[in-house]
Amino acid sequence: MTETTADQNLDPARIVLVTGPAGAGRSTAIHVLEDLGYEAIDNLPLSLVPRVVDGPVRPNPLAIGIDTRNREFSVDGLLGLIETLAGRAERQLTILYLDCRADVLLRRYSETRRRHPMAPEESPETGISRELALLGPIRERADTLVDTSDLNVHQLRDEIEQWFAPRAGRHLALSLQSFSYKRGLPHSIDMVFDCRFLANPHWQPELRQLDGRDAAVVAYVRADPRFDEFFERVLNLTRMLLPAFQEEGKAYLSIAFGCTGGQHRSVTLVETLGKALAEDGLQVSIRHRELEARTDSHTGDVRRN
């Protein structure tokens, strides 16, 4: 556990719970948060975490690293801990999940010749597969998901700083997510927009197997006469709220769009809004929950779109 000098621009009530599969960069993320002024604690047994959090808020925010190597680790135990911490009104909990594709994790283990903690006497592939399957519910619960598959150490540091560095003089970190109402609302979303009123490409046979990033689907969705007004209102609302939230000291803003299947309309809205906000000079993180789930079920890989 390391304590550093408090930064007046950091929220001392904040807790960042850092997790993800072994080899995805959790230790690096913990070190970056420590450098930013967080009190960093790694590999603490789950039962001790509430004791650390209890009591008066300390001068520094907390960054707590937890993965499958932690003593007492279980998915149910970690989910229970998350719900306990999230229920504390005096704290602001963020779940940071360091993600990585299975093939990249395998390459990293091959390069280091380390044994995988989930299969010490078996192949790294077996351990990686077990761990990704085990951590699925935790990944679904994440507030911030960073895919490290194509990031080096310096790029990962930049990504973590974008989300968690002191915000003085900087824009909020923006997260946009698409989802299906059939699977319920995402966790920890600030604003949700329902776009099920738009024309549904699902009913067009030539579009059904495509998604909202494909040009043909985008054109179909945008051809709905209600699209332009809806999009402009959402864009202008977002632009109006960003400086107001920043003045209130908010570090990040998460916006979700939902449709029936989470494949067409909501994906198009997220991509379109993300592009518009990027043109404003903002850095935007995009996640398509249902497309990720579909990719996982088809390939076994863990990806972020």
Per-residue pLDDT reduced to its tens digit, 141-156: 888 888 898 888 888 8
Per-residue pLDDT reduced to its tens digit, 178-190: 999 998 887 668 8
Decide yes or no: CATH 3.40.50.300 for domain 14-164: yes
Q: What is the pLDDT of residue 171?
A: 59
Using CA atoms, how far apart are residues 242 and 174, in angstroms rounded to an integer? 9
Q: What is the pLDDT of residue 298?
A: 47
Q: Is the pLDDT of residue 85 over 60?
A: yes
**Top-ranked range on mean pLDDT: pick from 11-15, 165-169, 214-218:** 214-218
Q: What is the pLDDT of residue 239?
A: 93
Closest CA to 82 of 38, 45, 46: 46
**Top-ranked range on mean pLDDT: pick from 91-100, 161-170, 258-267:** 258-267
Q: Where are the domains of the chain?
A: 14-164, 173-299
Q: Which residues contact 107 (CB under 8 A, 6 or more apart)?
A: none
Per-residue pLDDT reduced to its tens digit, 1-13: 333 333 445 777 8
Q: Which residues contact 76 (CB under 8 A, 6 or more apart)?
A: none
Using CA atoms, how far apart are residues 47 and 72, in angstroms rounded to an integer? 8
pTM: 0.60
Q: What share of the chain is helix, strand, coil (3-state, %, to 5)?
A: 45, 15, 40
